[in-house]
Structure 1
Amino acid sequence: MQDLKTAAQQTHDFLKMLTTTGGFKLRFRIVAGAGAADPDGLEDRLIYVELSGPDEQMLIHRDGELLRSLEHVCAKILRLEPEEHDRISFDACGYKAERNREILDLAEEGIEAVKNSRKPYRFEPMSSRERRMLHLALKKAEGLRTESSGEGPNRFVVLYPEGWQARERDDRAAKIRERFRRR
């Protein structure tokens, strides 16, 4: 990210345009630098934007679709690479903060499920940003690994117990060998 002060000003200008020309009835507070840090450690944010006002519910409708879209547009304005999009984070009504807590809870549930069953655990489909956050939350689990699977909006995270891939590959290889022996 370029100079943080410039990035915060560009974010301000974007939001000002939305609230004047765009007609959104919103107030916003921008925090940049150390004060913007994510307390849950799921985002590497340098700029945090809190939105409030009469139109705030519109932002979180449909699982925060508009909130995420505004965040994405702002990341593009700041010329952030896709892997840097978590440097800026928008929230309204505590929606994203609550979702972060849900992701942490989901991670704990998945870890427990895999440790108890010793079988892979498949999470529900999520956005790429939420999948990344889930991967980070699951990183602390020793002896487990994660992978994303699926396509487009149906992409999801799978949590595997240690050594699962090797057994899975061995099983597949044995089935292939058996098929060739029958011929």
Structure 2
Amino acid sequence: MSDAKAERGQQWLERLLQLAGLPAQVDVTCQDDAYWLTIESSALTPEQVSALVGEGGKAIDSIQYLANAILNMGCDEELQAAYTLELAGYRQKRQEELRSKAEEVARQVRETGESIEIADLSGAERRQIHTLLKDSEDLETFSRGQEPHRTLVVRLR
């Protein structure tokens, strides 16, 4: 791949996996102005996949945070990129779950007129629901509280 941002992300993640003793290659695709770094799971054991994803996605979220922080640190804005890590379909499945959750919560708020708090979301997942609902003319979202007990609130405008 000739894209320097894609190559940087791929090389960084493959090196991290190598240092961790995990024999996995990384494929890169560009989707919605973000680089998806997909860890090939075929050479990994189910236990290794489970450890890389972590409980509730905590490990893959942490690695993704680290990738974005390290790969963008000290870079001019035009060289910065957003990286999303994928492994064994986890991100795709989680995105669908979050989309369904956002639609259900939006429906409930519209029906009852009462705000709803959503707990147990990572910072990236809260941002995703903010993004999914940002174009709703009748709804607004905001985060409340301090980590690790931060929640997302959806309410009528």
- TM-score by structure 1 length? 0.71
For structure 2, list consecutive stretches of 5 or more residues without a partner in the other structure.
none
Question: What is the count of residue pairs matched by the alignment?
Answer: 147
Q: 1:8 aligned to 2:6?
A: yes
Q: Deviations over 1:118-155 (max 9, x none)?
A: 11111123111111111111123221111111111111
Cα distance in structure 1, aligned partners of 2:139 and 2:9? 39
2:26 equivalent in structure 1: 28
Cα distance in structure 2, aligned partners of 1:139 and 1:108? 12
Contact 2:14 2:24 (C-alpha < 8 Å) held by counterparts: no
1:89 CA displacement = 0.4
More strand by share: 2
- Cα root mean square deviation, aligned: 2.3
Q: Deviations over 1:65-123 (max 9, x none)?
A: 22122212221222259xx9981101111111111111111111111111111111111
1:135 equivalent in structure 2: 130
2:121 counterpart SS class: coil
Indicate which of 31, 34, 40 corresponds to 1:37.
31
2:54 counterpart SS class: helix
- TM-score by structure 2 length? 0.82
2:105 counterpart SS class: helix
Letter in 1 for 2:31: A
Letter in 1 for 2:70: I
Q: Deviations over 1:145-170 (max 9, x none)?
A: 111111111111111113xxxxxxxx
Cα distance in structure 2, aligned partners of 1:50 and 1:66? 15
Letter in 1 for 2:55: R
Letter in 2 for 1:133: Q
2:49 equivalent in structure 1: 56
